[in-house]
Amino acid sequence: MAKKAKVVLTDYVWDSLDVEKKMLGELAEFVALKTKTPNEFLPHIEDCDALLNTYAGPITADVMARMPVCKIIARYGIGVDTIDLEAATTAGIIVTNNPTYCIEEVVEHAMALLLACARKVVFYDRLVRAGNWDLTPGKPMFRLGGSTLGLIGFGHIGQQVAARAAAFDMRVLFFDPVVQANQSNLKAKKADLRELLKESDFVSLHPPLVSETRKMINDETLRQMKPTAYLVNCARGPIVDTDALVRALDARIIAGCALDTTDPEPLPNPHPLRGRDNVVITPHAAWYSERAMVGLQAGAPGEVRRVLSGQWPINVVNPRVKSNNRAGI
Ligand code: NAD
C-alpha cells in the first residue's frame, strides 16, 4: 500500500479540528501543532507533503530547505507576508491563501473603528465607566457626512470600505499603484499619496505588507496628514512606523488612531500606544466572525486536498511555480 501523505498544521486558534480531519483524513496523516516559530515546528516538517499555516513563521528559504518533499504551503488567511514567495517559487512549492473569507468582516471592522474615532464612542464609554457623564471632554466632534476618507490600497477590502463610506455621504479618495482611476464603478477618486494624506479627515490602510508598504506611514507621511485627521489600520502593523506614530500623537500631528493591527503584535504592556484617550486598539480581531471562521477553516485544507489529489489549487499566490512545481500538476 502506498505511504499516506503527511500534512502538518503549524498552528491554529480554533477549538476543533474536525473540518481538517474530515477533509484530509483518508488522504493523509494529519499532524496538528501549536507552535509560533520555525524552531518549534521544524522537527515535525522534514517529511511533510503539505504545510498548513496560520501565524507561525516566518517561513523562509531556510525553512523550505528543511522540507524537501513539501508540495504546498497553504495559509489560512489573506496576507502572505510571512512566507518568502520567491524562495517557494524557486523550490517548486505552491503557496496558497484564502483571499475572500473575511472581506466583509474587515470592512465592517474598519467602519466600526472609523465611526469610533468620529463619534468618540470608545472614549465616551471609558468616561461613563469611570463615572463621568459629560459631553464636553469629547469636543471637538465632526460630522462624517461631507468629510473625506483616504484609502491606501483599493483592493477587495478598500473598495468595499469605499462603498460603505459613500453610504455615509463621505468623499472617498484612494491611492493604489495598480487600480486605475475608472476601474471600479465606485464613486472614489484616484489620488497620489501626498494629495490623499493632505486632504483626508480619515486615512484607512488596506494595502498588503510588502517592501514598498513597510513603514509607509512614517514621520514624513504623518506630517502630511491634517492635525484633525485619524489613522485607521486594519491591514498589517508594520505598514505603520510605530515609533513615528507615537511621536505624531505626542506632538498632536494627527488627532488620533484606531488600530486592529500593530507592530509588534501584541503590543507589550505597558506601551506608549496603550491607554491613550485618542487611541483605540483591537487585538487583530477584524477578520473574525462565526461565518468567516467557517470559510477560513475550509479554505486551506481544501487547497491541500486538491494538490494531494493532483488538482491545481484555486488561490495560488505564486503562479509562476506552475512550470516547476514539485507536485507535477
Ligand atoms: P487585496 O490584495 O485585494 O488589495 C490590496 C490592494 O493594495 C491592491 O489593490 C494592491 O494593488 C494595493 N497595493 C499594493 N501595493 C500598494 C502600495 N504600495 N500602496 C497602496 N496600495 C498598494 O487585499 P485585501 O484583501 O483588500 O487585504 C488588504 C489588507 O488587509 C492586507 O494587508 C491583508 O493582510 C489585511 N487583512 C487584515 C485582516 C485583519 O484581521 N486585520 C484580515 C484580512 C486581511
The closest of 251, 201, 264 to 230, measured between CA atoms, is 201
Cell of 175: 491611492
What is the distance between the alpha carbons of residues 306 and 311, in angstroms, rounded to a whole number? 5
Atom number of ligand 1 nearest to Cα 213: 18
What is the distance between the alpha carbons of residues 280 and 116, in angstroms, rounded to a whole number? 8
- Tens-digit pLDDT profile for residues 11-60: 999 999 999 999 998 999 999 999 999 999 999 999 999 999 999 999 99
For ligand 1, atom 28: residue with the closest CA: 206
Pocket lining for ligand 1, CB < 6 angstroms: 78-79, 99, 102, 106, 152-158, 175-179, 206-209, 212-213, 234-236, 260-261, 284, 286-287
Look up 26 and say whether it is catalytic: no
Question: Dihedral, CA atoms, 135, 140, 145, 146, nearest 10 degrees?
Answer: 160
- Tens-digit pLDDT profile for residues 275-301: 999 999 999 999 999 999 999 999 999
- Tens-digit pLDDT profile for residues 54-92: 999 999 999 999 999 999 999 999 999 999 999 999 999
Look up 206 and say whether it is catalytic: no
Question: Residue 152: pLDDT above 70?
Answer: yes
Banded model confidence at residue 197, pLDDT cuts 50, 70, 90:
very high
Cell of 303: 487547497
Say if residue 290 is exposed, middle or buried (CB neighbours under 10 Å; 0-12, 13-18, 19+): exposed
The one catalytic residue among 75, 109, 206, 236: 236
- Tens-digit pLDDT profile for residues 227-237: 999 999 999 99
- Candidate of 83, 85, 106 to mutate for ligand 1, largest count of ligand atoms within 8 Å of Cβ: 106
Look up 44 and say whether it is catalytic: no
Q: What is the distance in A from the centroid of ligand 1 to the CA of 54?
A: 17
What is the distance between the alpha carbons of residues 322 and 38, in angstroms, rounded to a whole number? 26
Instruction: Taking residues 205-213, report their average pLDDT.
Output: 96
